[in-house]
Each structure stands twice: as structure tokens, then as C-alpha cells.
Amino acid sequence: MRARLLSLLVTAAVASLGAQAAVTDAMIDNDAKTPADILSNGLGPQGQRHSSLKQITRENIGRLAPVWAFSFGGEKQRGQEAQPMIHDGRMFVTASYSRIYALDVKTGKRLWKYEHRLPDGIMPCCDVINRGAALYDNLVIFCTLDAQLVALDQKTGDVVWKEKIDDYSAGYSYTAAPLIAGGLLLTGVSGGEFGVVGRVEARNPRTGEMVWSRPVVEGHMGYRYDKDGKQIENGVSGTPGKSWPGDLWKTGGAATWLGGTYDPKTGLAYFGTGNPSPWNSHLRKGDNLYSCSTVAIDVKTGKIVWHYQNTPNDGWDFDGVNEFVTFEDGGRVLGAKADRNGFFYVNDAKTGQLVNAFPFVKKLTWATGIDLKTGRPNYVPENRPGDPTKGADGKKGEVVFSAPSFLGGKNQMPMAYSPETKLFYVPANEWGMEIWNEPITYKKGAAYLGAGFTIKTLGDGPIGSLRAVDPKSGKIVWEVSNDAPLWGGVLTTAGNLVFWGTPEGYLKAADAKTGEVVWQFQTGSGVVAPPVTWDQNGEQWVAVVSGWGGAVPLWGGDVAKKVNYLEQGGMVWVFRLMK
């Protein structure tokens, strides 16, 4: 009897360990409260990028030193924008050219590597980067430059399933980390510069089978799918023809290329949408919904519950993809977004009602402010690029200078929030551009801009600045300037610290309340990825991926010339306090 009882206890213990190894919906929803692992992009589906760990402080951070480093190797040392995931003794990290690695989290030893075979003719907009993976059950799932989803076994790296998102030859690609929300795998699409149609899709994360699809260009039909994969109409997005002239909605852009966030309290997934196509706004009179917006989607039904448009009739490629980070204020669930257009927005996360909006960059030319009653920008009409049909030769509209540039007051690099300080920490950039419109017609697989541009510096001073922003007052509480533009994400901790990286190669930490820089480490290449932290057997560890690249060297104009001395790379660095 005793032996049988012991056997049952051992069996139960083994089953319990197996259950713990499988990533569940509850584990992902509570990711922010379990610092021993990192199961979501954003250290919690809400995207706050805040850790409750406080072992590392400004008093002892001088002892923070490398534990191990891992090189991605090869000649593919392009931009590295990935956030690592930590689970069951493994680190899962993606790299440029659609690669993913599983590493022993204690030693950095490579456990397996998967390198996706990419076809000729892929058309990524802004470098061959990848921003990370999703974990679910025993799978690690990531997206590829040829617009595919690949699910691998966490322990072996073997392919479990693979699904096509869309046709790469038509300009589609995908580089964002997938989002797990309400038991579903949510992804968007990239390719806004090629006249694609932006959308959000939900799949069964165990099989890759479609559950629903929601276009974010007004006029397109949404769908849900039955158990046999049959497509069933699920309502048109918006009102066809209401905010788009003619047939331009059919190639309307609004790519959801940065992925989304999710708040279990609202049951809504929040995706930002990109620029309308083409860039020439004179061709598409109207607001062009749902481009340059935040859309809140009910994950159960796949329907848009609310939207808020940050830049109606965008004429500057300001997009609106920036992450919508939810947080609580007096029992109310709010969401914040530092938009590429230079304004910081606070919305009610349940209804979309605009609560506050203010600039977080110092130079803005396209609008004087946001009307808090209507939610609309107060445009400066003369600073919209000119209509080419009214130019002297009909081939080029009036050139205007615009700030911020289309690279944005903030771009892909995620901000962070601290519930302790109640501040957001925003990697901001001060730059401008000369921009003009040109005639354009759509051709499948070809660039669909109708504009020309040159990125400009605003002077000889610093371009980047990490800014601590008060979402209530709209004030910049402190800032740490940086010569090169900031292009990497931010991490906050309960130890009163803020971590971020710079293109010059430094991982830095500052006092979250004062902005005083208290530590830095040279990684050997530019940091354009977000740092993470976790509890490793009672010790707080920190990691960041290093490797200069992304959009700035490709599209940065005069700014790219200013930082052309920066070296590319591909490394994971891991740190802990040394005794």
C-alpha cells in the first residue's frame, strides 16, 4: 500500500512538472507577475515592460557584469531587434534573416537553431530584422520575412506546423512577435509601402488553423472559419466608401506591422495600423479609416469594438503602429501610445475615449496640437506636402519641411511603464525631413509611395533622448540625451531602474525617478532591441540583444551619414550581480 502510494505521488509529481513546462493561457495572462520566466513580448501581454524584481538597485548596480554572451554567427549581422523569451531553462531568441535559437539560459550554450529558408524576391521594408517569438504549450512560434508562421517544438526545434500569412511577391512580409490573447495566436501583416491591405488574424496556436480575420482598411469583409476551415462572412470593417475615394481602399495599406498588445481585463487586443497607401494624400481625400489608428478587437468575435485615429488623412507616413500599453489609474483601465507623429495619447482602454494628448517631441510642424473634444489634430495646412497636379510640371508637388520625420518621434522601439513612478519612459528622436508628393499608380509587388523624401538633422546636437513622461500632466519629468537616434526598447524595474540601449553600443541604466545614469556596458555593436530581466534561481539577471541596423541606416538620409561609423553585429549579452 505504501509503495503504491509512493508511486502515485511520484506519478503526480512528474505530471505536475510536465504541466508546469507547458505554457498556458493563465501563465501568459499573469506573465508580468511571474518574474522567473518571460512568456510574452512586453513582459506581460499589456506591454508595460516592467519587472517586479528589485534585487538590482542604483546602490549595487556597479557589480552588474556579463555572465555569458552568444554570437548569432555567420555573415548575417544585420539589425537585431528581438526580445528574448525565457521558459523551462531555455532562452528563445530570434535573429536577422528569420533565424531562431534556443539557448541554455544559465550558460548560453546553443541547444538548437532553426534557419528559415528564404526565397529570392522578398521585399522587407526596413531591414531583415525579427522582433521575437511567442510561446504556447510546448511550442515556440515566430514569423518570417516571406510572410510565414513557423511553430517549433521548444525542446528539439523540430517544425510542428507552418502556415502562410500571405504572398511575399505582392509585398507582404512579417517581422513582429506574434501575440497570444485569449487562447488565440494573433498576427498582423507588413508591407504598407506596397499597397497591401492591413489586417489582424487569429489562429489556433497548436495547429495554425485560422479562427478569424479582421481587415483594418474600411470596406473589406472580415471572416471567421469553421472546424473544416470554411470561410464565413463576419461583417465588413467600417462603411464601404465612407472615408476613401474611388477604389483606393482596395490597396489601402494600414499594415499592422508592429504586432499588438492584449489586456485580459478588457478582453480586447490592441493593434496599431500603418500609413494609408499611397503616401500622396491628395489622391485619397478623406480620413482613410482605419489607417494610422489604434483598433481594439474583441478576441472572441474578431470584430472591431472601437478605434481611435491618430493621424486622419496621413500625408507624412506617420503610421500609427506604435504599441498601445494598458495601465490602471484609479480603477480605470487606460492605454497609452507614443505615436510616430510626435504626440503622446491616452485613451480609455474599454471605450477608446480620448483622455489626454500632448507632444513628447520638441519640434512639430504638421499640427499645433490635438483637440481633446473632437480627438482630431489641428493641422498646419501649409506644411502638408503639395499636390503634384498643381506643380509647375505636374510631376512634383511643393516640397515642405516636416518634423518629426517619417521615422517618427518614436518608431518600432517599445516604451516602458513603471507602476511605481507612474511614468512612461519613451525613446524619442528629434529630426525632420524634406518631403514632396509625386504621381503614382498601383502595380502589384512594386513600391506604392507617390512621394520623395530626405531625412534631415535639426542641428548639430543630439538626436535621441530617453524621456520620462507623465501621462496625466503631459510633462517631460527628465530626459537623457543621446547623439545618435535611439532605436531600441526600454525596461523598468521595481528596483527603481530604467534600462535601455544606444546605437553607440551601450546598455545603460538610470534612476527611474531622477534620470541619473548609474551604469553602462559596451556591447560591441549598436543596441536596437529591448532589454529584459528575470529571476534565475533567486538572482536577478538582465539580457539584451546587440546588433546595429533597422531603418535608420537604410532610410536615414543625413542622419544615416552621421552614424555610418557604427558597426553591425549579432550577440546576446546576459548579466547578473557579481559578488
Amino acid at 418: S
Cα distances from 164 to residues 124, 148, 240, in angstroms, run 16, 4, 28
3-state secondary structure of 514: coil
Residue 306 CA to its chain's centroid (Å): 20
C-alpha cell read off for 39: 512568456
Looking up cell 523569451, which residue turns up? 85
3-state secondary structure of 386: coil
**Within a 10 A sphere around the Cβ of 8, how many other Cβ atoms?**
10
Q: Are 104 and 88 in contact (CB under 8 A)?
A: no
Give every CB contact of residue 90 below 8 A, 6+ residues apart in sequence. Answer: 102, 103, 104, 105, 111, 154
| Catalytic residue (one of 29, 127, 314, 317) | 317
C-alpha cell read off for 12: 503526480
Looking up cell 504626440, which residue turns up? 343
Which residues lie across from 304 on neighbouring strands? 297
d(C-alpha 508, C-alpha 222), whole Å: 44
Give me the torsion for CA of 329, 464, 523, 495, rounded to 10°.
-30
Tell me, yes or no, if 317 is annotated catalytic.
yes
Nearest to 72 by CA among 533, 547, 521: 547
**Within a 10 A sphere around the Cβ of 94, how many other Cβ atoms?**
30
DSSP track, 352-376:
--EEEEEESSS---SEEEE-TTT--
d(C-alpha 13, C-alpha 54), whole Å: 31
3-state secondary structure of 180: strand
Nearest to 577 by CA among 13, 55, 14: 55
d(C-alpha 218, C-alpha 108), whole Å: 47
The length of the chain in residues reads 579
Phi, psi of 474 (to 5 degrees): 80, 10
Q: Are 496 and 56 in contact (CB under 8 A)?
A: no
Cα distances from 476 to residues 117, 344, 513, in angstroms, run 45, 11, 12
d(C-alpha 465, C-alpha 415), whole Å: 12
d(C-alpha 64, C-alpha 412), whole Å: 28
Give me the torsion for CA of 23, 27, 32, 37, rounded to 10°.
-40
Which residues lie across from 491 on neighbouring strands? 499
The catalytic residues are 317
